[in-house]
Amino acid sequence: MRILDRHILLRFLGNFVLLFGLLFVFAISIDIIIQWEKFMDVSAALNPPNAAGEKRATTLGIAKVILGFHGPRIFQFYQYMMPLVALGAMGFTASAMHRSREFTAMLAAGVSLRRAVLPMIVGMFLLCTLQGLNQEFILPRLAARLLLEHRDMIRGVVPTWSIALAADSRGSLLHAAKYDPATQMLTGLSIVERTAQGGVARRIEATSATWSTEHRAWMLVNGRLGVPSKPTDAPASERPSVFNDQPIASFATDLDPDTLSLRHHRLHAHMLSLKEIAELTRTSAVDPGSLRRYAVGRFAALAIAILVLMICIPFFALREPTPLLRQAVRCAALGLPLMLTSMVIIAVPLATIPPTVGVMLPVALLMPIAAWRLAVMKT
């Protein structure tokens, strides 16, 4: 059986690599065709001028730009497409074995169909393990490059953006004319600390600020702290128009760079490691329930991918001749809605249901279905 197991496993993984490569090349080919002019402009801008002082795009330069932009995206593509591609690889592998009567030969040798499809389930476990390693170690390091858009290819860093009145857990409002995630620097910073009634308790202004992980605070440059000469909760006629300013070196808050990026880029949460999510849960102004859903959802998504594969395997692992096209249509009609619906349930918070329970709900529903599908296989 070890020879058969190795043979089936390698065929399954080989089909996965082939399908994954074809889909990735197809996806980036569409993007290259649509954005061809931008790739040419970036290649021309990065190439040295010729003897006439002109900058022109070259074939090698365009290839380097495309590889630099789309190369890291293969890991992001794996994160999103692995369950669907694995489902297709299972269909191709099992249908080929059914067409060549390999399942019949294994049954004649006394091997049940459940045992015959076990290597493909093991292969799915291996792919899910790679998925976990990819999400934990690779995507967090590539997050800055994966958030780049076509217009940012020359600079090679995530574009800056302004922050308009972001509130931390204490109710303080932070405003910045520009935030640069590459240097973790705020420019044109203005902070308003409020009283319980919503009035202004203190006002902080600074030319710029840089995040300090050690102090968990923004270190201010030319920081000035303004305290009202009169309480801002006083009647409107008595409220001060002048603040008493004094120097200030830092401002401690839970609005750290990861929190600012999370609020600006919704995809940023999917590129954080579990360690980073746990740290944000303790120290960030982001909703802890959402962060827990992101963390638990990763394990739930992997479990769903394995369970859907187990549910769909009996469509192809057959002991009798059957039209494979009909079986493929049935597999797609059941497997795709199950997978997509489960992913939607994981991503969308459910009212009155705790985040971790809502995320694991599809797993709990699919487990008995997968067990039943394998149990009723004719073998």
- Distance, CA of 24 to CA of 248 (rounded, Å): 52
Q: Write down the domain spans for the chain.
A: 2-34+72-147+289-375, 165-254
pLDDT of residue 298: 92
Residue 243 pLDDT exceeds 90: no
58-67, 119-128, 271-280, 296-305: least confidently modelled range: 271-280
Judge whether residue 235 has pLDDT over 70. Answer: no
What pLDDT does 158 receive? 62
Average pLDDT taken over every residue of the chain: 87
Whole-number Å distance between alpha carbons of 187 and 179: 6
- Smallest Cα–Cα separation from 251: which of 230, 224, 286? 224
Q: Are 89 and 16 in contact (CB under 8 A)?
A: yes
Identify the pLDDT of residue 244.
61
Residue 157 — φ and ψ, nearest 5°?
Answer: -130, 160
Give the chain's largest Cα–Cα span: 95
pLDDT tens per residue across span 276-295: 888 777 766 677 778 888 88
Tokens encoding 21? 């490569």
User: Cα separation of 376 and 379, whole Å?
Assistant: 9
pLDDT higher than threshold 90 for residue 250: yes
pLDDT for the residue numbered 7:
94
10-19 confidence digits (pLDDT tens): 999 999 999 9
What's the pLDDT at 266?
63
Mean pLDDT of 252-274: 82
**134 DSSP assignment:** I
Q: Which of 77-81, 131-135, 220-224, 261-265 has the lowest mean pLDDT?
A: 261-265
**Is pLDDT at 297 greater than 70 in this prediction?**
yes
Higher pLDDT, 281 or 88: 88
Q: Which amino acid type is present at position 228?
A: P
DSSP three-state, residue 340:
helix
Q: What percent of the chain has pLDDT over 90?
A: 54
pLDDT at 161: 83
Q: Residue 267 and residue 343: Cα distance in Å, rounded?
A: 15
Q: What pLDDT was estimated at residue 51? A: 63
Helical spans, DSSP H, in the chain:
2-34, 36-46, 59-70, 73-99, 102-108, 113-116, 118-133, 139-146, 257-264, 274-283, 288-312, 324-347, 355-375
Cβ proximity of 347 and 361 under 8 Å: no
Beta strands 185-194 and 250-252 are unpaired
- Phi/psi at 242 (5° precision): -125, 135
Cα separation, 178 vs 303, in Å, equals 41
| pLDDT over threshold 80, residue 117 | yes
Q: What pairs with residue 341 in β-bridges? A: none
Distance CA 240, CA 233 (A): 10
Alpha-carbon distance of 16 to 127, in angstroms, equals 9
State pLDDT tens for residues 50-78.
666 677 788 888 898 899 899 999 999 99
* pLDDT value for 73: 94
| Rounded CA separation 351/367 (Å) | 23
pLDDT digits (tens, 9 = 90+) for 150-167: 777 765 556 788 898 888
26-51 pLDDT tens trace: 999 999 999 998 888 888 887 777 66
What burial class does residue 74 get, using C-beta atoms within 10 Å of its C-beta: 0-12 exposed, 13-18 middle, 19+ buried? middle
Q: Please give the pLDDT value at position 278.
A: 82
